[in-house]
Amino acid sequence: MPNIAAVLREEIQRLARKEVRAATLPMKKHRAEDRSAIAALKRKVAALEREIAFLRKQEKKRIEEEPAAKEAEGVRFSPKWIAADRRRLGISAKDYGALVGVSMLTIYNWEKGKSKPRAKQLAAWANVRGIGKREAMKRLEIVNG
């Protein structure tokens, strides 16, 4: 005949496991639901990041499209205008150069009258000189990524 204490202990353990299982089952279900929701959100974030990267790339291409040399015909250039436009936008020579598609040193030389833009550069400058501050910041954000 089995020991009454051993039988009692086994019965208590069985009942305890049953109660613990009943108490933890809802938590396990919630955890599984939460994990699937997190996985779905991760997939959605990844898809949105890919879409943003694609759109950024497309916008960068649109902005960086080389202006036609024909656009440079009839465009007048003055070093004072470059400096005035840059001051109006409130940006550095480096940022202005990024907008036009040239280096900071090139902008500096243009402002000082040491050099003049080539036809392509003149067309690019013509596209930039009429934009406002908001558009300039938007383009800089796209160019700098």
pLDDT of 38 reads 96
Is pLDDT above 90 for 105?
yes
Local confidence band at 43 (pLDDT 50, 70, 90 cut-offs): very high
Prediction pTM value: 0.53
Segments making up each domain of the chain, as ranges: 1-65, 69-144
Is pLDDT above 90 for 75?
no
Averaged pLDDT score across all residues of the chain: 86
CA distance 40 to 35: 9
Fold of 69-144: 434 Repressor (Amino-terminal Domain) (1.10.260)
